[in-house]
A and B are shown apart, each in its own frame.
Chain A
Amino acid sequence: MRLALAVAGKDVRAELRSRTALLSALVFAALVLVVFNFARDPTALSATALAPSVLWVTFALAALLAMNRAFTIERENAALDGLLLAPVSREALFLGKLLANLAFVGSVELVTLPLFTLFFNVSLWPRLPAVLGTTVLATIGFVAVGTIFSAMTVRTRHAELLLPVLLLPFMVPPLIGAVQVTSRLLAGRPWSEMWGWIRLLAMYDIVFVTLCTLVFPAVVDE
């Protein structure tokens, strides 16, 4: 675990020093929100009816963008070989990469949320802890799968294209779950209506984080 934190710390430091990827991902997320606002007929559909879907599609697209770079940064100067030679277990390496990706996607989501409340005029504040909790729960699962696919697609010449093609089907269950929970939260529905979805999200996280940690060695080892 300490080693995983070291790997994650390395990525986070590298990102904080350049900040280009994080900034572009943030601008991208803001732009998607703006574009969505114009893609809606304001007389036919209220902003709140569409808001949860917009929020989660934005998160998904920004996450795709963010995860593409998780292993592309390791491709330069064959940095991945260096990492693999280091006395770090493959599992710790995967968890470290996962944590770094979560930090990256999480900070994009954290900045997108206030913009979202502003643009779509929804008040999240009374339900903020619940919305944040849902976001964390849904994000962990697909970032875990995304991390492993990013390690795979980086070996091809079409990484930017292949990652979404592989990852989007895997994003479907967490996205459906997150949209359902978020829309019920925004509508102030009781917990009992969300419980099934929350369990689904938690199950997805447990299954895929475990499985991805187990199969990661097969992806990186020659």
Chain B
Amino acid sequence: MGIMKAKESIDNLQELYLLSFQGLLGLVRKPFYLKDTIEQMDYAGAGSFFIVLLVSLFIGMALSLQLSAELSPLGLKMYIGRVVGVSIIREIGPVLTAVVFAGRVGSGIASELGSMILGHQVDTLRVFGVDPIKKLVTPRIVSSIVMLPVLTVIGDAVSLFGGYLIAVFVGHQSGAVYWSSIREVFNFENVLSGFVKPFVFGYLIACISCYTGLSTRGGAIGLRRTTTRAVVVSFITIVAADFILTRILLYVLGFSV
């Protein structure tokens, strides 16, 4: 039983790799589904805008509040901006936006493709001679790779603004000091570190969600399982990939650990 389970997991992983590769290959092989890609971008980007805005604002505020509570008694509240900036730009912003994106867009992709499988719509595409990977997977990969970094930049900006509100109105710090600290951490290394991650996360979320969606079996219960699996696997993959990317980026950018 254990061996069968392990074999099944390896098979699934192989199929996921294959789908990820074929999905990318769709970018260089005709036909290109531009309209589908734009629709997906609208769903993934514009549709996620307000939720990313809200979550980022509150996270920035909460982080600033925690730091105010810790640093003020030590007389170090001038560092709030610096710590908030580094945390948000390098780590919390990309991961948080990716998690929100996986919860909203990833689950949407998985359930949409899953219901297309159960309703024989994917079979219909194949009968019509349309490659479902090019038609369904590639536009979703492209939209995720493009829109997640955009959302991350917006989320980072809003989080920093949330941090500013707390630092100034609760921590009674000077706004100029806060923004000047942010400017100090806004260097090439930090920005690159925070900007590489969303591309990788977007690609992973899209591939995992498409794969789980297209492997749906077994009616409504199967669809529930698919959606849950897409979100859970995406979350775990995001945090694991974040750790690996952080290690690589710290090494490449010359930070000593």
A and B interact physically: no
Binding site for B on A (CB under 8 A): none
Binding site for A on B (CB under 8 A): none
